[in-house]
Structure 1
Amino acid sequence: MFIGAVADDVTGATDLSLMLSREGMRTIQIIGVPDTDIDLSGSDAVVIALKSRTILPLEAIEMSLVSARTLMAAGAEQILFKYCSTFDSTDDGNIGPVIDALLDLTGTPVTIACPSFPAAGRTVYKGHLFVGDRLLSESPLKDHPLTPMHDSDLVRVLQRQTRHPVGLIQSEIIASGSEAIRLAIGTHHAEGKRMLIVDTLKDDDLRAIGQACDGMKLVTGGSGVAMGLPENFKRAGKFTPQTPLTQMIAAPGRSAILAGSCSAATRGQVEAARAAGLPTLQLDALAFAEGGQTAEQIADWAINDTGHGIPLIYSSADPEELAQIQTLIGRHKSGTLVEGALADIAQRLQHAGFTRFVVAGGETSGAVVAALGVRALLIGPEIDPGVPWTRSVAGPDLTLALKSGNFGSDDFFIKAWTMLETETADA
């Protein structure tokens, strides 16, 4: 194994696994710290998907350290800590503390922080994170239900979370190539800095940054930073790139869509699905909290609604509705309630013969895969940037598209199904 990655949520892990697979690495995604019976040999990269983004920092640190130690024991030459391309982490959040702990574990003197993913519209300029052409602090992420982002200056954001000085490598140096980046890393380290935000405007920047990180024991960032890392091992003659999958065969069974994200992208996808005629039912968090709506009722609706298309169950609400719900039942309680409800619904659908799921939202995806008993995933074709189809290779045979709430085009819930082939019952 060459790259061992620890991701702070399931959809982020899938996004990263897709990136490594596209770069030719034989990649397996593990759900949670792997059991001893899961064979990690034969993989160029292993990505461990945790559910640590919004838990307490001390818990996130311990979970991440256990995962990193497992990967290092299995032979990983480089550890990658993967977090969201929108740096989802409040001032009390987990990115800085986890990096601190992983720096100590790996003995890395200095590392980078590179959340950028230009293909999905996430770029960093002068240390400020942009979502499309808007500053992070002016984007819909400012209304995220669990990690609202009100500051786009990542140097400031990260500095509030870590005990180490944070620096910045600006775009002029990045554009000069990998050697200039390496020199800048050394200069910042000599000044006492151990974490460096890197400007990134295009894929070529990511490849240059990746080359500059050759030999760096710990790298941190979004999935985009992985674009340039496999080439270092290829150049050293350590692995031969594999052709990534271009199609995904799904086992026979019924299909469903579960959307727990309240992001603008997911809300747009819900509206597009409704306009296209998909049967939809909203999970009302307030009604659910008061017992007026149950997981059994919602699952029965999907199970019994045959012949009308793929059912979509969503809890997505606009910022005003969400604020009202959070005021009445609390921010974290409302999030936990929705995740648990959708996980319960998924499990009921699984027992009724549903084997194919599109799931929107990082926290929702983590809850759903845990409820379904999925332990490891094979990475399939890309539906939209950062979102592939996957098929379980440990646990029940399921086909899953696990989507970050902010990812995907408006027609994502519709077009995803066109990329699947169904094997016959006697195949």
Structure 2
Amino acid sequence: MSARFSLRTRRRGFTLVELMVAMSGGLFLSIAVFALSRDATRFYQSEGRMANATLAAVSGFERLASDVARAGHLSTANIQGDPLVCNRPDASFPAELRSLRALVVGTSSATGTEVAAAGISPHSLLVTGALNTPEVFTTMAVAPAAGGSWRVDLDLSTPAADRLNLSLATTAVAANQAILDGIFTIGTNQRGKIVRLRRNGLDQYAVVSAVTAVAGGAFLTLANSPSLLRLERGGPQCGIDDTGKGMALSVIDVVRYDIRSMLSEASYASLFSASGVSGGPSVVPFESGRAELVRVEVDSTGAEQASTREIIGEYAVDLQVSAWGATAANNPALIPVAATAITQTYNSTQLLRGVHLRLGVRSREADRDADVAGSGGGSNNLYRIGLGGSANAPFARVRTLQTDVPLRNLEGNRW
């Protein structure tokens, strides 16, 4: 009897208390594992979003730097002082053409954004040159047209026209028209761009009024103002000679970069809806004050063409420009040039030799409770931006991209 009892005792299972302790311990361990997994996933997603935002900012910044590097390409550095300009600008010229310059520094329209609330004053940058179409057309003829305008016939048999997929075939009229509209007009409103006509090293500037493709060719109709000059006895010793055949024609783009809110831009409604700007389950805090680095094309009057606005850098918080240039036309020694001086009335744009660009973008989440000492100080380094009331906590991290851009198209100017 005693032996059977001892055998049964040795074979007994766990008690209820032991089972409860084991199950509770396993449950707590599972909770800890899931909590760690959740935090790790959240951290990974947060850093992934920051990495994606940084990559997008780098892409946009490179586009900005690329446009700046082409400033003045196939254009003038300063139309008011350029000795090679034949039809000198006067009051009849459209506003933007009258003050055409390779670079103009201004102030971004960041009113009502977190950027303005933080007391940051980003620059804006107006860049002029052959930015979208670096090809040079050749004219077949340049002649006065009805109503005081001018007609410019284009030679579509040149290598430049071929590289743009323009064809001499009589069946290619519609295709040619679409290509020419994209080259010579801006946006859905098809506002005409500025063009430069060059012959014997001397330039004339005009504005496209219309572009027309015909069987085996194409022609531009230029606006009445500014008017072109003809080479005449007793008149200015520059202008269109004979039929105007063989002139080099380039297309000039005027592009503005600045930091602004795009929340009201209909073309980006889906972007901001996804981040919950209007509320809902996907709402992200502080989205209503966000700002972006925006690129937009400007016509010859200085008006922005809304259909060309595009975000090239999300969550942008700062854009700063500094420059250096030659001391004088006869002195190539480099000196710093204050960005505030490079306006549309600056008379030495042609002497600029390079610019330094600095772009700051913030993280999507405000994941810091305090600022970093020195942020936004005398050096203008920005490490954090406050998204709370009065630009206080919480703070979002700021990453800064910067580069030096030599202005190769201006370095030969000695006037």
Larger radius of gyration: 2
Same fold, TM-score > 0.5, yes or no: no
Structure ranking higher in helix proportion: 1
TM-score (norm 2): 0.24
Structure ranking higher in strand proportion: 2
